[in-house]
Amino acid sequence: MNYKTTIFVPSLMAFVFSIVVAPIASAIGPELGKWTAIVNSRDKGTVFDTIDASTPAWPTIHSAEYISGMKDAERQEQVEFHSIAHAIIQDAKVLLDKKPRQSTAENWRSLESALRLRDSMLRNTGYANLVLADGLNRLGLVFLCKELGSEEQLSPEFDGALSHLITYRVNIDQWASVTREELGWTDEKLKEVEGNPNPGVGLHKLWDRLTDGDNFACPKNMDHLCSDGLLKQRDLSMLLYRYIYSDIAMKRLSLAVQYKKQTADFSLNDGSGKIAKVLPSSGEGKKMSVVATGGVPRVVMTKLPVEKTNLSVGERFLNARSSADDVATLLHMIESGDIDKFMPLYREDILPSPKTGRP
């Protein structure tokens, strides 16, 4: 089953602290000082143009609500890093908005820097780190989707960036840790979530407990969907919603790339029928074996449990394998420009629905 959603314009609550994107205020501590200098020196470029292997690791940054209970010096440093976080989200949008039809070497370097920064953010997990890493995943996904539609032959840079992007996997223990820290949940409340061998099932249990069983197909808090809003106001359920759909979109992008490489006459307008002839069957996982009955061999197809099939975490969450229909839908989103609305960074990235006039 494929869920479809209507995205609403976020009505964003004022941030607990005064956030100024640029210039950033004076820093506390050496790491913050270096990050402040990086953001304030980016001129007309982006932060991704200025970070390199010598850039300090990104620390653990919490939600605005969590920070409000910290001691003065520690709280101030976290507030400063929140300002830098907003600058990073802003620069992710700039990089996408300024992207030419076919990317230059400079664009590819900036994207690689963004993905390295994502990796650094996930090594020190906090709520804001998860928001930022998701925003950079979205940057990589939309960037590569646009490139897929513009390149006749995919470049080595494309392949390298895609391989880096999809190394990320939704980490259920990471999510349990942040939920415990931010919401004060006990081990009992996180039972069957933390350490679950099937992360899709465990994250579905987390979703149900965060939302009291809200319908994942059309959750109540869609106005909290954008990255900028999630930094300003904590909402673990909508952040999880973004992670699940981004995970699924990465899988579908990988399939679309596989399809393009195996098709001589690739087009963004290709339909599911044509795609299904090229891609492996999207049916349920099955194992083929040969058994002998009365000395006569016969082929037997045995349905595999979900955890033994090659499904992504998001697919396991929805209990649905990505299909040729899904790949065709992604290609159409790229062709129409709707890919720009996918998991938005800002509320202005969302366009009104032609049916309702609402985003």
**Residue 110 · residue 48 · CB < 8 Å:** yes
Residue 284 vs residue 337, higher pLDDT: 337
For the chain, the maximum distance between any two Cα atoms, rounded to a whole number of angstroms, is: 82
| Residue 147 pLDDT greater than 50, yes or no | yes
Task: Report the Cα–Cα distance between both ends of the chain, in Å, rounded.
Answer: 24
Take residue 336 and report the two structure tokens written for it.
Answer: 């129409």
Residue 290, pLDDT score: 52
Q: Is the link from the previous residue into 23 a cis peptide, with omega within 30 of 0?
A: yes
The whole-angstrom separation of Cα 44 and Cα 17 is: 26
- Predicted confidence at residue 263, as pLDDT, reads 93
Is the per-residue pLDDT at 130 higher than 90? Answer: yes
Question: Looking at the predicted structure, is the pLDDT value of residue 334 above 60?
Answer: yes
The answer to whether the beta carbons of residues 84 and 24 sit under 8 Å apart is: yes
Predicted confidence at residue 359, as pLDDT, reads 38
Q: Tell me the pLDDT tens digit for each residue of 10-58.
A: 333 333 333 334 344 333 467 898 999 999 988 778 999 988 888 899 9
Report which listed range, 39-43, 53-57, 136-140, 217-221, is most confident: 136-140
Lowest mean pLDDT of 20-34, 190-204, 312-326, 344-358, name the range.
Answer: 20-34
- The position carrying tokens 């989103």 is 333
pLDDT at 261: 94
* Three-state SS annotation for 72-110: HHHHHHHHHHHHHHHHHHHHHHHHHHCCCCCCCHHHHHH
Read off φ and ψ for residue 285, nearest 5 degrees. -60, 130
- Between 26 and 152, whose confidence is greater? 152
Residue 60 confidence (pLDDT) = 94
Least confident among 74-83, 248-257, 273-282: 273-282
93 and 158 Cβ atoms separated by less than 8 Å = no
Q: Quick count: other Cβ atoms within 10 Å of Cβ 36?
A: 21
* CA–CA separation, 325 and 337 (whole Å): 18
Helix (H, G, I), strand (E, B) or coil at 5: coil
Residue extents of the structural domains in the chain: 30-279+305-349
